[in-house]
Structure 1
């Protein structure tokens, strides 16, 4: 499975003043940790990181380049400015090929336009799926074809292809609804009342 490359550099400092300098130089501070592994303080080129986060989010698998070493990692948390929404810090988990990992993967609905109309809409009940598997089997995202959903027959966890994958354990109730087709709500037409009619009602 192809994974995006994310470059990083090891950083020595940890204080607020150090982080401020890092950000002013065009980098985003971050931390890389893993099971039975020492945490590493790193930083990422801001433009490269923001470009990657424009396509991927929490739960995505990346090839993390630290110095000359490439490691398999997943994005665990993204800290953003509460108002500006720019990335302030990012946490990644380094993976061990011999250990299973539990992670939430984005679940995207495709082909919604094929089934939606003036009288029906697709309601997306679950936007991410929690799974457990070995790193080599981690998907970047799970896509569900909405055109396969029928009115009155909700798509459930047990209907997903990933649920039948012997390499992946889906940590949800198999009967949980993923998406369904519902009747579209009718627009309420509000009649405008003229000033003359308002006065007539008052008197």
Structure 2
């Protein structure tokens, strides 16, 4: 069952009106979709944040716009005020529940890797995976168990269990978790330092020549 969220139509797009909406605890927003007319709306900021927190980033939301029928939407994008850490704008996309769509799903590693306890370093190159599924079949997250990873072991997209309701769009050999030997990390740092020093020397020499 989709989460419900009420929305008010927004006709005044002046800065003063937008500021007033935000000061009242609401977020100026837009709702649009394929072959659908876009509408300017506003939603309660607290209710939106609560819905996303409780239902997940890819949750299906039944958006109840005043003077219109509720529509199924997903939060497509949003903007935050970096100074106040407040939500200042949101985009909602009208979804077709019978049509597949591509979304990014959070990747969560669980368990303790034995290789990490033996001195290795557990690395997670990716924190989201692209998935194709119908809106109702989009998983809230992809969980990967790393409790058997030894030093040098790797888990790739091809190692993930196959699901009938969705498919992964990443390359099969894409690494999503690995335990790197500690000496490998040391070697990488040394290589970085060695490569950086000549560049600094050259830079100084060039500056002297220009003088």
TM-score of the pair, normalised by structure 2? 0.74
CA contact (8 A) 2:102 2:132 kept: yes
1:101 positional shift? 1.0
CA distance in 2, matches of 1:112, 1:134: 33
SS state at 1:179 partner: strand
In structure 2, the residue matched to 1:15 is: 14
Q: Counterparts of 1:42-121 in structure 2 under 5 Å?
A: 42-54=41-53, 58=57, 60-67=58-65, 69-112=69-112, 116-117=116-117, 119-121=119-121
In structure 2, the residue matched to 1:167 is: 165
**Unpaired runs of at least 5, structure 2:** 187-211
1:139 positional shift? 1.3
In structure 1, the residue matched to 2:205 is: none
Q: Counterparts of 1:101-180 in structure 2 under 5 Å?
A: 101-112=101-112, 116-117=116-117, 119-161=119-161, 164-180=162-178
1:81 positional shift? 0.9
Structure 1 residues 22 and 122: CA distance shift in structure 2, 3 A: same
1:109 positional shift? 1.4
In structure 2, the residue matched to 1:198 is: none
In structure 1, the residue matched to 2:192 is: none
In structure 2, the residue matched to 1:37 is: 36
1:69 positional shift? 4.2
CA contact (8 A) 1:6 1:62 kept: no
SS state at 2:63 partner: strand
Deviations 1:20-75 (A, max 9, x none): 111011101111111111112221112222333445665x1232331474433222
1:140 positional shift? 1.8
Between 89-98 and 68-77, report the one with greater CA deviation.
Answer: 68-77
In structure 1, the residue matched to 2:180 is: 182
CA distance in 2, matches of 1:139, 1:41: 29
Aligned length: 182
Structure 1 residues 4 and 111: CA distance shift in structure 2, 3 A: farther
CA contact (8 A) 1:10 1:66 kept: no
CA contact (8 A) 2:56 2:140 kept: no
* CA-atom RMSD in angstroms: 2.5
Structure 1 residues 137 and 151: CA distance shift in structure 2, 3 A: same
SS state at 2:147 partner: helix
1:80 positional shift? 0.6
1:176 positional shift? 0.5
**Greater helix share, structure number:** 2
**Unpaired runs of at least 5, structure 1:** 187-203
1:100 positional shift? 1.6
Q: Is residue 2:33 matched to residue 1:28?
A: no
